[in-house]
C-alpha cells in the first residue's frame, strides 16, 4: 500500500510534458544563477561601467541613443585623437551598441524608463543567461544523454573563464559575442546534420551579427572551414556538408561585408582566405562528385589527378601573386603574435604592452576552469568514441581553442564553451552509468544475453562490434562515485563563486579598501579628477595622458584626448610617449603643437596603487623609441647597474623626464623633510623634489592617484620657461641672502 | 489636529490660484510715461540690510502717510532693472496687524528700456487721507556681491563687496530715515564714509558687526547716495543656478519619492594660483575654515529613507545619512572641494512614507502637503536662481489645485502637464511650478496640492497589465496552433 504514493512520486518525473516543464524550470534557474553570480560588483559598488574599453562602448551607445542610427553610422569623432579625429562610425563593431539601443527603445516603447547606463551594465549578465541556453542546445546535438545539456548550461553559466569578461558593468564586445559564437556553432551543427538551407541561412544570419559585434568573428571564419576540411579529409564529404557550408559562406560573407569596419576584408585579407579556399574546394568536390556519377571509374581517376593538381597549382600561384601584389593583405601583427609569442615584444611593443595579450600562465587554466580542465580531455575522448560529424567539430574546436588559449590570455574566452561542452559530456556519462539505482539482475542479463545472442546470430557481425553488456552492481561503488562527483561539482561552484567575487568583480574605476573597523572605504580618485575636469575646464580643453585613460577621459570627463585605447595610430601614441619621457624643453613644443591644455598622470605612490604611470613608463619609452631611436633611449632610464629606480639613485634621464617630474612634483612637501616615501616601489625619494618649469599643478585628487597639470602659456616677456621660473626662484633666494647681514669684501 | 490645520490652510489658499489660470504674479502693464503719483510720504523709514549670508536680505519698515485728498491703496517701490532680475521673496506685511496676511504685490511693467522699474504694493484697505500705516517690506537680492580681490590664494581669506544706496531709493519724499547694515563678523576693512549730521560727525556708526548710516533728514523722492562696503566672508558663496525638484506620489506604493537636481556654483573669489593638494591637506589640520565648500547638510523631514547622492558619472560615496526619531540628516561632500568659479552639479533623492504628506479629504479627493523647498541648511546660506518643482501625481488624477506660502511674486508660472513613466498609458498628471530667486530662508514654506483620484483610475494599471499579459498568452497560443509545415505525403 505504502509503495503506491512512492510509485506515484517516482512516476512524476517520467511523463514527457513533466520532463519538459522540469527542463524549462531548470534552464530558467541556470539563467538566474548565471545572472546572479555576475552581480557582485553592482551590489558591492554600484551600477557602473568597468575598466577602460567599456567606457568607449558606453559613450558610443549614448551617442547612438541620442543621435539615431544614421548619424552613429557616419560618426566622425573630433574629440579623440586630437588633432586627427577618428572615423568612429566606420572603425567600430556596432553590434553591441545597436543591441543596447534596441533594448533601450523597446523598453521606452513599453514606457519603462530605464537609464541607458543600467542597460549597458546589465547587458553582459543578461546575455550570459542566453549563452547558457545556447550551450544547452549545442550539447544536446552532441549526445543523446538528457543531462549533458543541462550540465553544460550550468558550467557555461558559472565558469570563471567566461565570467571574467561578462560581469555586470563589463560592457565589452565579448558580452554579447560569446552567446553569438556558441549559437552560431549550434546552428552550424544543426545545418550540417540536416543539410538544411534554412539552418544554414540562420547560421549565416547569426554569423553576420557576430561579425557586427566582435573582431573575434575570425575564430568562426577559420573554425568552420577547418571543420569542413577535416571532414573532407576523413572522406566524409556529403551533400549535407555542401549545402550547409555554401549557404553559410555565401550569405555570411555578404552579411559581414555590410559592416563598414569589415568591408572588403573577407576577400582581401589572409585570415579570411581559408574560408574562401574551402568554399572553392567544396565546389570542386561537388563537381567531381557529379563527374564521377557521369563517367566510368578509370577515366575518372586520371581526370581527378589532373584536375585536382591543376586547380591546386593555379590556386596557390594565384594566392602568392595576389599577396605579393598587395591585393590580399599580408598577415597582421596580432596574427603573427599568435604563432610566435615573443614576436610582439620585439616588433610591436604596443600590442605587447597590453596585459591581456600576454601568453597564458598554466595556473590560469585551473583558475579559470577548475575541474573542467581535467574533465575536458575525457569529454573529447568520448567524442572520439562516437565520432559523428558533430563530434569531429568538438575535437577540432578543442584543439584549435586550446592552442590559442595557451598563446593569449584573453583567448581563454573562446576555449571556455568547448571545455564546458566536453566536460558536461564526460560528467553526464559518469552519472548516466552510476545513477541508476536498480542493479542489472542476472536474470535480466541472461535475458539480454539470449536476446543479444539471437540478434547476433541474425546479424552475424564481428564480436568486437557488439558492445559487451556492462553494469555496475554494487551500490557502494555507485554511491562512492556519485558522491565524489557531487563533491567535485559543489567544489566547482564554490571555486567559481570565489573567483568571481575576488578576481573579476572590481570595476577598477573605483577602488575599495577596508578601514580599521572593517567597514568598506571607497577610493574614488579617478572619478573625482574626471568630474573636476568635466566641470571646471573649458569644454574643448585637450587632455594629454597615456592611452590607457583615453576612453575614460572621453566617457567620464567628456574632454578631447590625444590618444586612447583604440590604438590605431602608433606614431601618435609614440608622440605622447616621447613627450612624457623627454625633458621639459623637448616636451613643451610637442605639447604646444598638439594644443594640449592639461596633462593627466596616474600616480600610486601615496596609496601603494601599483597600476600607475611610473610602472607603465617603460612601455612609453619603448614605444617612443620605436619611432625616435635617436632621441629616446630605453637604456638611459636605467641606472648604470641596470636597475629601474626612482629614488636618488635614479638616472639623470629618468629624473629629467616629464613623467618623473609630474609624478613626484610637490610630493616631498607632504612628508617631513627627507621622509618622502614611494609606497609602490618602496623607495625613499630625494629630499629636494623635482621642479617644473613648463607646467602648473592644476589638480591632485584626494589620494594623489590622479594628478592634472596645466600647460603654461608662452611667457609674457618672451623668456623661456626655465629662465622665467629661475628668475622667480632667484628672487626668493635673494631675500634669504639679505638676512645674512652686510656683505664683506673678500680680501685675498 | 494636524488634519484640521491642513484643511483650513487648504480652504484659505485655494482661492489664491488654480493652475489653469495660474499667473498669480502676472505683470501689470502701464503706459510708458508712468510715474508714481506723489500721494504718499515716508514719515519714518528704517532700512535694514543684512549681508550675513551669501545673499542679501533687506527689510524696510516704513510708516507711510497719505498726503493726498482721496484714499489711496497703491504704494510703489522703485528698483533698477538689474535688481528686479535678482529680486526674490518679496513680501509686505502690516507691522501693527500680524493677522492681515501678505499684501498683494505686482511688478509693474511700463517701459522695458527704462532702468527704473517699480513694484506695486496694494494695501488691503485704502489708506484714508492723512492717515498713517506702518508696513514691513522684506525681500532678497541674489548674486549680490562681488569678491574683492577677485582672485585670492587658496589659504587666504575671502572678502566680498556690496554696493547699495545709503538712502532708500523711494518714489516718495522721506522725512526721516536710517540704513543699518548687518555683517557676518566685525571685520569690515573698507566702507564708504559720509559726512554726518546732528551729533554724529561721520556716518556710518560702527557697532560690532553693524554699520548704521543715518538718521538722515528729509530726502526728496528718488534721492540716492551710493556706498560700498567690503567685509570678510570666509565662507563659500554658494549659488544654485537651477534646481529641479520632483515629488512623485504613489498611491499603490504608499510612497512619496523626492529627487532634487542641483546645478551648484561657487560665486566667490577665484583661485589666483591653481589648486594645491598639499596646502589643502595641511590646511585641513590647522585652519579648517575656508572659503571652499566642503560639505552640504540637508535636514530632511523625519521619516525620510533610502537617500541617494549621485552626479553625472555615478554614485558619490562621500555622504552620510543619520536617521532616527528626531532627525533625518543627509550630509554630502562634493567630489572635490569647491572653490570660487568652480561648478558641481549633483542629484540627491530620498523616499518617504505617503502618510507623512498625504491625507484623504472627507469629500473624496486627496490633499498633499509637502515643503516647497527642502534644500540644504548652511550657516552661510544657499540661494536658488531658477526652481522648478514638479509634483507627479498618480495616473488619472484630475481637478488639480495648488496653493503655496512661497511669496506669490516669486512664482513665475504654473501648469499641469503629463509625465509618462513606468507602464503608463495616459501618463501621470504633473503639476509644474516654476519659481525664481528663492533663498534657504524660505525652505519651511509649504506647497499644498489637492486633487481627485477616482477608483477607476487607480485600478487602471493592474487591469491593463493583466489584460496585456492575457492577450500575450492568447496570442502565443493562437500562433502555436497554426500549422506551418508542409504536409508530408505518406
- How does DSSP classify residue A592? H
What's the domain count of chain B? Answer: 2
Q: So what's the pLDDT on residue A186?
A: 96
Instruction: Give the H/E segment covering residue A450.
Output: helix A442-459
Q: Is residue B455 part of a domain?
A: yes
| Contact yes or no for B453/B62 (Cβ under 8 A) | no
> Where does the pLDDT of residue A33 fall: very low under 50, low under 70, confident under 90, or very high at 90 and above?
very high
Which residues does residue B446 pair with via DSSP β-bridges, in sequence order?
A: B371
Residues B335, A524: C-beta atoms closer than 8 Å? yes
More confident residue, A552 or A733: A552
Give the domain-ending residue among A407, A429, A451: A429
Average pLDDT estimate for B55-64: 93
Chain A residues whose C-beta sits inside 8 Å of any chain B C-beta: 45-48, 110-113, 510, 522, 524, 527-528, 530-532, 534-536, 556, 666, 669-670, 696-702, 704, 710
Residues B173, B302 within the same domain: no
Residues A48, B276: C-beta atoms closer than 8 Å? no
Q: Is residue B166 part of a domain?
A: yes
> Where does the pLDDT of residue A226 fall: very low under 50, low under 70, confident under 90, or very high at 90 and above?
very high
pTM passes above 0.90:
no
The number of C-beta contacts closer than 8 angstroms across A and B is 73
Give the domain-ending residue among A363, A397, A429: A429
Q: So what's the pLDDT on residue A267?
A: 84
Residues A408, A533 within the same domain: no
Residues A226, A107 within the same domain: yes
pLDDT of A737 above 60: no
Residues B242, B204 within the same domain: no
Residues A409, A533 within the same domain: no
Residues A172, A30 within the same domain: yes
Chain B residues whose C-beta sits inside 8 Å of any chain A C-beta: 273-278, 281, 311-318, 335-336, 341-345, 420-425
* Chain B residues touching A669 at Cβ < 8 A: 278
Residues B217, B325 within the same domain: no
pLDDT tens figures, B254-312: 999 999 999 999 999 999 888 988 888 888 877 678 889 999 999 999 989 999 999 99
Residues B273, A696: C-beta atoms closer than 8 Å? yes
Which chain B residue has the Cα nearest residue A699?
B275
Q: Is residue A544 part of a domain?
A: yes
What's the domain count of chain A? Answer: 2
Q: So what's the pLDDT on residue A470?
A: 63
Q: So what's the pLDDT on residue A337?
A: 65
Question: Mean pLDDT across chain B, nearest whole number?
Answer: 87
**Percent residues over pLDDT 90 in chain B:** 46
Residues B352, B385 within the same domain: yes
CATH, residue A658: 3.40.50.12610
**Best mutation target, B264, B336, B426, B472, to test chain A (most A CBs within 10 A):** B336
- Whose grid coordinates read 525638484? B245
**Best mutation target, A120, A673, A700, A725, to test chain B (most B CBs within 10 A):** A700
Owning domain of residue A189: 15-46+93-269+329-429
Q: So what's the pLDDT on residue B25?
A: 44
pLDDT tens figures, A337-365: 666 666 666 667 777 777 777 788 888 89
The bridge status of strand A542-544 relative to strand A596-602 is parallel
B315: closest CA of chain A, how far (Å) = 7
Q: Is residue A509 part of a domain?
A: no
Q: So what's the pLDDT on residue B16?
A: 41
pLDDT tens figures, A257-313: 999 888 888 888 878 888 988 998 899 888 888 888 888 777 888 887 888 788 888
Residues B242, B194 within the same domain: no
* Chain A residues touching B425 at Cβ < 8 A: 111
Which chain A residue has the Cα nearest residue B313?
A556
Q: Is residue A463 part of a domain?
A: no
* Chain A residues touching B277 at Cβ < 8 A: 666, 697, 699-702, 704
ipTM: 0.88
Q: Is residue B284 part of a domain?
A: no
Task: Choose among B277, B313, B422: nearest Cβ to A556.
Answer: B313
Q: Is residue A464 part of a domain?
A: no
Residues B421, A113: C-beta atoms closer than 8 Å? yes
Q: What is the largest CA-CA distance in chain B?
A: 125
pLDDT of B11 above 60: no
The bridge status of strand B205-207 relative to strand B173-174 is unpaired
pLDDT of B330 above 80: yes
Task: Choose among B273, B277, B316: nearest Cβ to A704.
Answer: B277
Q: So what's the pLDDT on residue A588?
A: 92
For A55, A84, A631, B457, the CA distances from A77, given in Å and listed in that order, are 15, 9, 32, 48
CA-CA distance, B438 to B142, in Å (whole number)?
8
Q: Which segment of A27-41, B7-21, B69-83 scores lowest on mean pLDDT?
A: B7-21
pLDDT tens figures, A539-589: 999 999 999 899 999 999 999 999 988 888 889 999 999 999 999 989 999
Residues B254, B217 within the same domain: no
Residues B313, A669: C-beta atoms closer than 8 Å? no
Task: Choose among A111, A527, A534: nearest Cβ to B423.
Answer: A111
Residues B365, B436 within the same domain: yes
Q: So what's the pLDDT on residue A179?
A: 95
Q: Is residue B286 part of a domain?
A: no
Residues B99, B200 within the same domain: yes
Q: Is residue A623 part of a domain?
A: yes
Which chain A residue has the Cα nearest residue B340?
A536
Q: Is residue A73 part of a domain?
A: no
> Where does the pLDDT of residue B116 fall: very low under 50, low under 70, confident under 90, or very high at 90 and above?
confident
pLDDT of A668 above 60: yes
Question: Mean pLDDT across chain A, nearest whole number?
Answer: 86
pLDDT of B19 above 70: no
Give the domain-ending residue among A429, A451, A474: A429
Residues B384, B410 within the same domain: yes
* Chain A residues touching B294 at Cβ < 8 A: none
CATH, residue B84: 2.60.40.1730
Cα B489 from chain centroid? 82
Residues B157, B250 within the same domain: no
pLDDT of A329 above 80: no
Residues B321, B442 within the same domain: yes
pLDDT of A130 above 60: yes
> Where does the pLDDT of residue A536 fall: very low under 50, low under 70, confident under 90, or very high at 90 and above?
very high
Residues B244, B203 within the same domain: no
Q: A704: exposed, middle or buried (C-beta count within 10 Å: 0-12, 13-18, 19+)?
A: buried
Residues B342, A535: C-beta atoms closer than 8 Å? yes
Q: So what's the pLDDT on residue A249?
A: 95
Q: Is residue B8 part of a domain?
A: no
The cell numbers describing B92, all together, are 509686505
For A232, A358, B85, B198, B226, the CA distances from B194, given in Å and listed in that order, are 107, 80, 29, 13, 10
pLDDT of A1 above 70: no
pLDDT tens figures, B411-449: 989 999 998 888 888 889 999 999 999 999 898 899 999
pLDDT tens figures, A411-450: 889 999 999 999 999 999 998 888 877 766 555 555 445 5
> Where does the pLDDT of residue B21 fall: very low under 50, low under 70, confident under 90, or very high at 90 and above?
very low
- Concatenating the DSSP letter of every residue in A371-435 gives THHHHHHHHHHHHHHH--HHHHHHHHHHHHHHHHHHH-GGGHHHHHHHHHHHHHHHHHHHHHHH-
- Gyration radius from chain B CA atoms: 28
> Where does the pLDDT of residue A460 fall: very low under 50, low under 70, confident under 90, or very high at 90 and above?
very low
Q: So what's the pLDDT on residue A13?
A: 58
Residues A547, A398 within the same domain: no
The cell numbers describing B481, all together, are 496552433
Q: Is residue B290 part of a domain?
A: no
> Where does the pLDDT of residue A217 fall: very low under 50, low under 70, confident under 90, or very high at 90 and above?
very high
Average pLDDT estimate for A56-75: 93
Q: Is residue B376 part of a domain?
A: yes
**Best mutation target, A120, A525, A536, to test chain B (most B CBs within 10 A):** A536
> Where does the pLDDT of residue B2 fall: very low under 50, low under 70, confident under 90, or very high at 90 and above?
very low
Q: So what's the pLDDT on residue A11?
A: 64
pLDDT of B14 above 80: no
- Whose grid coordinates read 510509485? A7
Q: Is residue B350 part of a domain?
A: yes
CA-CA distance, B228 to B226, in Å (whole number)?
7
pLDDT of A124 above 50: yes
Q: So what's the pLDDT on residue A743?
A: 62
Residues B311, A531: C-beta atoms closer than 8 Å? yes
Owning domain of residue B406: 238-267+295-333+341-463
* Chain A residues touching B314 at Cβ < 8 A: 46-48, 527
Amino acid at each position: 500500500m505504502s509503495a503506491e504514493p512512492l510509485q506515484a512520486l517516482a512516476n512524476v518525473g517520467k511523463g514527457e510534458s513533466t520532463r519538459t516543464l522540469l527542463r524549462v524550470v531548470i534552464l530558467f534557474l541556470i539563467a538566474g544563477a548565471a545572472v546572479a553570480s555576475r552581480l557582485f560588483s553592482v551590489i558591492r559598488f554600484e551600477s557602473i561601467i568597468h575598466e577602460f574599453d567599456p567606457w568607449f562602448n558606453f559613450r558610443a551607445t549614448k551617442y547612438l541613443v541620442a543621435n539615431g542610427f544614421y548619424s552613429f553610422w557616419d560618426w566622425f569623432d573630433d574629440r579623440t585623437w586630437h588633432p586627427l579625429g577618428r572615423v568612429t562610425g566606420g572603425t567600430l563593431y556596432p553590434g553591441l551598441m545597436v543591441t543596447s539601443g534596441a533594448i533601450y527603445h523597446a523598453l521606452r516603447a513599453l514606457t519603462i524608463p530605464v537609464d541607458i547606463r543600467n542597460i549597458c551594465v546589465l547587458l553582459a549578465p543578461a546575455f550570459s543567461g542566453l549563452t547558457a541556453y545556447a550551450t544547452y542546445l549545442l550539447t544536446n546535438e552532441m549526445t543523446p544523454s538528457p543531462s549533458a545539456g543541462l550540465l553544460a548550461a550550468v558550467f557555461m553559466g558559472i565558469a570563471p573563464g567566461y565570467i571574467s569578461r561578462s560581469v555586470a558593468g563589463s560592457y565589452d564586445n565579448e558580452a554579447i559575442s560569446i552567446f553569438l559564437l556558441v549559437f552560431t556553432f549550434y546552428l552550424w551543427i544543426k545545418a550540417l546534420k540536416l543539410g538544411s538551407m534554412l539552418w544554414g541561412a540562420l547560421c549565416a544570419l547569426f554569423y553576420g551579427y557576430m561579425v557586427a559585434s566582435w573582431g573575434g568573428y575570425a575564430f568562426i571564419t577559420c573554425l568552420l572551414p577547418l571543420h569542413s576540411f577535416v571532414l573532407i579529409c576523413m572522406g566524409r564529404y556529403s551533400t549535407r556538408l555542401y549545402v550547409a557550408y555554401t549557404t553559410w559562406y555565401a550569405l555570411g560573407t555578404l552579411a559581414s561585408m555590410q559592416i563598414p569596419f569589415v568591408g572588403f576584408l573577407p576577400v582581401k585579407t589572409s585570415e579570411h582566405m581559408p574560408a574562401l579556399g574551402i568554399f572553392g574546394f567544396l565546389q570542386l568536390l561537388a563537381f567531381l562528385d557529379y563527374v564521377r556519377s557521369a563517367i566510368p571509374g578509370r577515366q575518372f581517376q586520371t581526370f581527378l589527378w589532373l584536375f585536382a593538381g591543376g586547380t591546386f597549382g593555379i590556386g596557390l600561384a594565384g594566392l602568392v601573386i595576389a599577396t605579393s601584389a598587395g591585393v590580399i593583405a599580408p598577415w597582421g601583427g596580432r596574427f603573427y603574435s599568435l604563432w610566435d609569442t615573443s614576436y610582439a615584444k620585439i616588433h610591436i611593443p604596443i600590442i605587447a604592452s597590453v596585459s591581456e595579450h600576454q601568453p597564458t600562465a598554466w595556473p590560469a587554466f585551473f583558475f579559470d576552469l577548475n575541474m573542467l580542465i581535467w574533465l575536458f580531455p575525457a569529454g573529447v575522448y568520448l567524442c572520439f568514441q562516437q565520432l559523428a560529424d558533430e563530434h569531429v567539430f568538438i575535437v577540432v574546436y578543442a584543439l584549435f581553442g586550446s592552442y590559442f588559449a595557451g598563446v593569449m590570455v584573453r583567448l581563454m574566452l573562446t576555449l571556455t564553451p568547448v571545455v564546458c561542452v566536453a566536460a558536461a559530456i564526460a560528467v553526464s556519462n559518469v552519472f548516466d552509468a552510476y545513477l541508476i539505482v536498480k542493479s542489472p539482475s542476472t536474470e535480466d542479463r541472461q535475458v539480454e544475453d539470449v536476446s543479444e545472442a539471437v540478434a547476433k546470430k541474425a546479424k552475424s557481425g564481428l564480436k568486437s562490434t557488439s558492445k559487451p553488456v556492462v553494469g555496475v552492481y554494487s551500490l557502494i561503488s555507485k554511491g562512492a562515485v556519485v558522491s565524489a562527483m557531487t563533491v567535485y561539482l559543489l567544489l566547482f561552484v564554490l571555486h567559481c563563486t570565489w573567483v568571481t567575487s575576488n578576481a573579476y568583480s572590481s570595476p577598477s574605476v573605483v577602488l575599495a579598501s577596508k578601514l580599521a573597523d572593517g567597514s568598506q572605504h571607497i577610493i574614488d580618485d579617478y572619478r573625482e579628477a574626471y568630474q573636476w575636469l568635466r566641470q571646471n575646464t573649458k569644454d574643448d580643453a585637450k587632455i594629454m595622458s597615456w592611452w590607457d585613460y583615453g576612453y575614460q577621459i572621453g566617457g567620464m570627463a567628456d574632454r578631447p584626448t590625444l590618444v586612447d585605447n583604440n590604438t590605431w595610430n602608433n606614431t601618435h601614441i609614440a608622440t605622447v610617449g616621447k613627450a612624457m619621457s623627454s625633458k621639459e624643453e623637448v616636451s613643451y613644443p610637442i605639447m604646444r603643437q598638439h594644443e594640449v591644455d592639461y596633462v593627466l598622470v596616474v600616480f600610486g605612490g601615496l596609496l601603494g596603487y601599483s597600476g600607475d604611470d611610473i610602472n607603465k613608463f617603460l612601455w612609453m619609452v619603448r614605444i617612443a623609441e620605436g619611432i625616435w631611436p635617436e632621441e629616446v633611449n630605453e637604456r638611459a632610464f636605467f641606472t648604470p647597474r641596470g636597475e629601474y629606480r626612482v629614488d636618488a639613485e635614479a638616472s639623470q634621464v629618468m629624473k629629467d623626464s616629464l613623467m618623473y617630474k609630474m609624478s613626484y612634483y610637490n610630493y616631498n612637501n607632504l612628508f617631513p623633510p627627507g621622509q618622502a616615501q614611494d609606497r609602490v616601489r618602496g623607495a625613499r625619494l630625494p629630499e629636494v623634489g623635482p621642479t617644473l618649469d613648463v607646467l602648473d599643478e592644476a589638480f591632485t585628487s584626494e589620494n594623489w592617484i590622479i594628478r592634472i597639470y596645466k600647460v603654461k602659456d608662452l611667457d609674457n616677456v618672451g623668456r623661456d620657461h626655465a629662465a622665467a621660473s629661475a628668475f622667480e626662484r632667484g628672487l626668493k633666494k635673494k631675500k634669504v641672502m639679505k638676512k645674512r647681514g652686510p656683505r664683506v669684501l673678500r680680501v685675498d | 489636529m494636524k488634519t484640521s490645520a491642513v484643511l483650513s490652510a487648504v480652504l484659505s489658499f485655494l482661492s489664491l490660484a488654480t493652475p489653469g489660470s495660474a499667473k498669480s504674479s502676472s505683470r501689470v502693464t502701464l503706459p510708458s510715461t508712468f510715474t508714481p503719483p506723489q500721494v504718499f510720504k515716508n514719515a519714518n523709514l528704517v532700512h535694514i540690510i543684512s549681508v550675513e549670508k551669501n545673499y542679501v536680505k533687506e527689510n524696510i519698515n516704513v510708516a507711510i502717510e497719505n498726503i493726498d485728498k482721496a484714499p489711496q491703496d497703491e504704494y510703489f517701490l522703485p528698483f533698477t532693472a538689474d535688481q528686479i532680475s535678482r529680486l526674490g521673496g518679496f513680501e509686505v506685511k502690516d507691522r501693527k496687524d500680524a493677522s492681515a496676511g501678505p499684501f498683494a504685490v505686482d511688478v509693474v511693467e511700463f517701459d522695458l528700456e527704462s532702468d527704473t522699474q517699480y513694484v506695486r504694493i496694494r494695501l488691503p484697505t485704502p489708506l484714508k487721507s492723512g492717515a498713517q500705516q506702518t508696513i514691513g517690506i522684506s525681500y532678497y537680492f541674489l548674486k549680490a556681491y562681488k569678491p574683492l580681490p577677485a582672485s585670492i590664494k587658496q589659504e587666504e581669506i575671502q572678502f566680498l563687496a556690496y554696493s547699495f544706496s545709503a538712502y532708500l531709493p523711494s518714489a516718495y519724499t522721506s522725512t526721516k530715515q536710517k540704513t543699518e547694515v548687518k555683517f557676518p563678523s566685525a571685520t569690515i576693512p573698507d566702507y564708504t564714509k559720509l559726512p554726518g549730521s546732528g551729533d554724529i560727525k561721520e556716518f556710518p556708526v560702527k557697532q560690532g558687526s553693524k554699520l548704521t548710516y543715518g538718521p538722515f533728514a528729509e530726502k526728496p523722492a528718488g534721492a540716492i547716495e551710493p556706498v560700498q562696503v567690503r567685509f570678510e566672508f570666509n565662507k563659500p558663496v554658494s549659488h544654485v543656478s537651477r534646481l529641479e525638484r520632483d515629488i512623485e506620489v504613489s498611491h499603490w506604493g504608499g510612497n512619496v519619492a523626492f529627487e532634487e537636481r542641483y546645478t551648484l556654483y561657487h560665486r566667490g573669489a577665484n583661485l589666483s594660483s591653481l589648486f594645491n593638494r598639499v596646502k589643502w591637506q595641511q590646511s585641513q589640520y590647522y585652519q579648517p575654515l575656508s572659503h571652499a565648500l566642503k560639505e552640504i547638510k540637508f535636514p530632511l523631514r523625519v521619516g525620510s529613507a533610502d537617500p541617494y547622492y549621485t552626479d553625472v558619472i555615478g554614485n558619490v560615496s562621500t555622504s552620510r545619512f543619520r536617521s532616527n526619531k528626531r532627525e533625518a540628516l543627509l550630509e554630502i561632500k562634493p567630489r572635490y572641494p569647491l572653490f570660487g568659479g568652480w561648478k558641481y552639479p549633483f542629484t540627491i533623492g530620498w523616499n518617504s512614507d505617503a502618510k507623512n504628506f498625504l491625507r484623504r479629504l472627507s469629500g473624496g479627493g486627496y490633499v498633499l502637503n509637502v515643503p516647497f523647498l527642502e534644500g540644504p541648511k548652511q550657516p552661510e546660506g544657499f540661494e536658488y536662481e531658477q526652481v522648478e518643482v514638479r509634483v507627479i501625481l498618480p495616473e488619472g488624477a484630475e481637478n488639480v489645485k495648488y496653493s503655496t506660502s512661497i511669496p506669490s511674486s516669486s512664482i513665475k508660472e504654473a501648469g499641469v502637464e503629463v509625465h509618462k513613466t513606468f507602464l503608463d498609458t495616459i501618463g501621470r498628471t504633473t503639476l509644474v511650478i516654476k519659481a525664481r530667486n528663492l533663498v534657504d530662508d524660505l525652505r519651511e514654506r509649504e506647497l499644498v496640492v489637492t486633487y481627485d483620484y477616482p477608483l477607476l483610475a487607480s485600478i487602471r494599471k493592474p487591469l491593463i497589465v493583466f489584460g496585456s499579459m492575457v492577450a500575450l498568452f492568447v496570442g502565443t497560443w493562437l500562433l502555436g496552433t497554426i500549422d506551418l509545415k508542409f504536409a508530408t505525403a505518406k
